[in-house]
Amino acid sequence: MARPRQPVDLIVAKGRKHLTIAEYTDRKNTEVTARADSVKAPVFLCKKEREKFDEIANQLIELKIMTNLDCDVLARYIRAETEYIKVTKQIQKIKFLPDKKSQTPEKEQLAEQYAQYDDLSKIQNRLMKACNENAKELGLTISSRCKLVIPKEKEEKPENKFMKHA
């Protein structure tokens, strides 16, 4: 399997390959880049989800990771996370042991609770997987962030004190 092509600025930042000026400009001109000038939360997100979208999007834009094309991925991540939290709260409400005040639950009631718990935990697992996949795409997990290499701004080289001034 071939290695994915890396942005030319990343190659230069790593310092592993020395490109001529012609090679650099040629690769830079053929590189596809997306703008980040209109990153907006999709309309299907509720108010709280839009606020979270804006918060995360601003951080990703600052890191120069997010573009206009990534809005749907971030929205899917936030939506899956919201649903995951709802399902988790429903699971927490299920009580398998009787309260001190009530009688022992009947077998039918216990079976119903276990079935409900099983169904909800399957949904929770699917939502967790969806969250993780979208988070990895956006660099929101520790392991995916470790794989990201963000090119640093070019620093001016220190002046060579041995060069003759004209």
Tell me: do 41 and 92 sit in the same domain.
yes
pTM of the model: 0.69
Tell me: do 87 and 141 sit in the same domain.
yes
The DSSP secondary-structure symbol of 97 reads: S
pLDDT in tens, the chain (166 residues): 555 566 666 666 666 677 788 887 887 777 667 777 888 999 999 999 999 999 999 988 887 788 888 889 999 999 999 999 999 999 999 877 655 555 555 778 888 888 999 999 999 999 999 999 999 988 888 887 777 665 556 566 666 666 665 5
Tell me: do 18 and 42 sit in the same domain.
no
DSSP string over the chain: -PPPPPPHHHHHHHT-S---HHHHHHHHHH------S-----TTS-HHHHHHHHHHHHHHHHTT---GGGHHHHHHHHHHHHHHHHHHHHHHH--SSPPSSSPPPPHHHHHHHHHHHHHHHHHHHHHHHHHHHHHHHHT-SHHHHHH--PPPPPPPPPP-TTSPP-
Domain count within the chain: 2
Domain that holds residue 19: 1-33
Residue 23 falls inside a structural domain = yes
